[in-house]
Amino acid sequence: MKGRLLLLALLSASACSVDPYPYELEEFAVPESGIKTIVIGDWGRNMNVNLKANAYIMNELACRFPINAVLTTGDNFYENGVSGVNDAQWNVSFENIFTGECLRPIPWYPSLGNHDARGNTQAQIDYSLQSNRWNLPATYHDYWVEKDSVWVHFIVVDTTPFVGSDNDDPNSYTGLQLLWLDSVLGSGNPDWTVVYGHHPVYAADGRHGETEELIQKFVPLFDEYGVDIYLCGHNHSLELIKTEAKTLYVTSGGGSTPQSSIENNPYNLFGVAEAGFVLSSFAKDSVQIDFISKKGQQLFSYVSPQTP
């Protein structure tokens, strides 16, 4: 009897040691050259099972393709951001989750969400000083990435203060941010201009939907300067939206807990309520956007040619 109990205990221990996410990333093609970024949002949920599955597939992707950066579309830490640089959330939602050998060397460029704003946002900025992969120099900022003669201008916006505000004072936080956005959108000569933040501009229904304040404030600037892509989260979904204008609107908010349902609007090219993330591949003359599920399935792929 003791021998049988010992055998059962050994079998149980063996079962617990098996990787709980033995998913196999589907085979699919991306441009060989250029810049590749993983985009994940609404993710930091303290060892959430979907978060761990996404981290596993993100590492598999990084082992297959040369990923240049991980971008976040906010809500990096639930429910109330972080209290400081030593908050336990840094380990249970980030450092001890994204541990894959291929993923660890890749730099992260986060944006802030409404749940982050509930906590100490300065701590997320300060963490950049003690992490070799977390890069958040300010609540809104821009940076350039170049590889294989492909230049992408990434512009990070802080959307939370715009929501529910009709403040048009140019000296307010939102007013100053709009003036800054106007100035950086007109700078340089990139192959691709990508703006990203937390709240959606256009979106499917089913959770938060679109954000009227950003339609009013951001869209005129996007149209004026020909922004190629706007990346967001907030809706816990994966979406691709194309209006009559140039800008593609991409939602990557499936980092941990997907919303229960989604109702696509006529401008949605794609939309699902699933856990997953986005791979963006920038070549000189096209960008490929792949929506990847937590199980490694290529849910949807879209190629957009470079246009004037």
Domains of the chain: 39-305 (3.60.21.10)
Closest to 133 measured CA to CA, from 56, 45, 70: 70
Q: Which two tokens stand for residue 181?
A: 């956005």
H helix runs in the chain, sequence order: 2-17, 49-64, 89-90, 114-117, 121-126, 173-185, 212-217, 219-225
Distance CA 68, CA 288 (A): 15
H helix runs in 79-146, sequence order: 89-90, 114-117, 121-126
From residue 28, give the alpha-carbon distance in Å to each of 25, 32, 148, 161, 212: 9, 12, 21, 39, 36
> Taking the CA of residue 35 as centre, how many other CA atoms within 13 Å lie in the half-sphere pointing to its CB?
23
pLDDT at 307: 73
pLDDT at 22: 66
Phi–psi pair at 268, nearest 5 degrees:
-75, 120
From residue 148, give the alpha-carbon distance in Å to each of 241, 281, 285, 308: 28, 12, 12, 21
214: left (phi over 0), alpha (psi -120 to 50) or beta: alpha
Peptide bond into 60 cis (omega under 30): no
pLDDT at 3: 44
pTM of the model: 0.92
pLDDT at 15: 37
pLDDT per residue of the chain (308 residues) written in tens, 0 to 9? 444 444 334 333 333 334 455 688 999 999 999 999 999 999 999 989 999 999 999 999 999 999 999 999 999 999 999 999 999 999 999 999 999 999 999 999 999 999 999 999 999 999 999 999 999 999 999 999 999 999 999 999 999 999 998 777 888 999 999 999 999 998 999 999 999 999 999 999 988 999 999 999 999 999 999 999 999 999 999 999 999 899 999 999 999 999 999 999 999 999 999 999 999 999 999 999 999 999 999 999 999 987 76
Distance CA 193, CA 185 (A): 8
Going by their DSSP bridges, the two strands 229-232 and 35-40 should be labelled as: unpaired
Contact 233, 113 (CB under 8 A): yes
208 is catalytic: yes
From the candidates 115, 208, 234, 236, which is the catalytic residue? 208
From residue 216, give the alpha-carbon distance in Å to each of 54, 168, 211, 225: 34, 12, 9, 15
The tokens 């617990």 sit on which residue?
Answer: 16
Q: Which two tokens stand for residue 298?
A: 């290529």
Positive or negative: CA dihedral 262, 263, 267, 269: positive
> Taking the CA of residue 113 as centre, how many other CA atoms within 13 Å lie in the half-sphere pointing to its CB?
30
Contact 35, 68 (CB under 8 A): yes
